[in-house]
Amino acid sequence: MFNWMKTAMLMAGIMALFGAVGAAVGGQQGMLLALGFGLVSNFFAYWYSDKMVLKMYNAREVDETSAPQFVSMVRELAERAELPMPRVYIIDEAAPNAFATGRNPENAAVAATTGLIEILSARELRGVMAHELAHVKHRDILISTISATMAGAISALANFAMFFGGRDGNRNPVVGILVALLAPMAAMVIQMAISRAREYEADRGGAEISGDPQALASALDKIHRYAQGIPLQTAEAHPETAQMMIMNPLSGGGLRGLFSTHPDTGERIERLLAMVRRPA
């Protein structure tokens, strides 16, 4: 229920941003047009954002025939978590990462890169996929996927503001430029605010689902070390999707470093190892 409230608040906040951009560019008429665009975007994001993100990453769906060990692992973990079997995807990218998407557990999907599958042991990969299923179980995936899609839409609207902000002789073009710069930043702040705490919760939930906190801790350490030298180009081109990943895939250059959507990896590992040390 709480995640539904957060999703509603996120959508309302994004609608307010759309209205502010529209008003700055075109007054009352611009605000109404932007709000209409925001309403359509919210509807689209709810029903189709997962498909959009999977297509963006050129993810290919796999099954027991094309990836038997991987799919069998996800099935076993889904049963342990008492979740419906999600759709399973593989992304042909060397950068090690994974994410979950979908609007609810009945319409969920999990995806992992080939780089992740190659560098992790079976035990570590199991920990990562349990983490992603924890996101599904906690119903994080709706707000995560919607925020990624809507942040991209806000960026597009801000570019519109930059282009048209100075065409009205009665309007200061600086206003349009400021809105164009600040609106995407505001969207990223919204994402950052909802993402860090839930990563800790997904780590904890994933450790409980897999029954192996140490494996997830080892996987996070390995992903962190490998990912630093291997860029994930799709994420660099669409940084609004970075908050969906188990590890921040962005290089950190320029403004990207200001909007890290993930908590410190060392702290995540320490919390998982504390679960191992905790007496039964």
> CB–CB of 103/53 below 8 Å?
no
Q: Which of 93, 124, 132, 199 is catalytic?
A: 132
> CB–CB of 218/124 below 8 Å?
yes
Burial status of residue 99 (CB atoms within 10 A of its CB: 0-12, 13-18, 19 or more) = buried
> CB–CB of 259/187 below 8 Å?
no
Is 61 part of the annotated catalytic residue set? Answer: no
Distances in Å between the Cα of 37 and the Cα atoms of 6, 43, 74 are: 21, 10, 38
Edge-to-edge strand order for the sheet containing 87-91?
60-62, 87-91, 108-113, 98-102
| Residues taking part in catalysis | 132
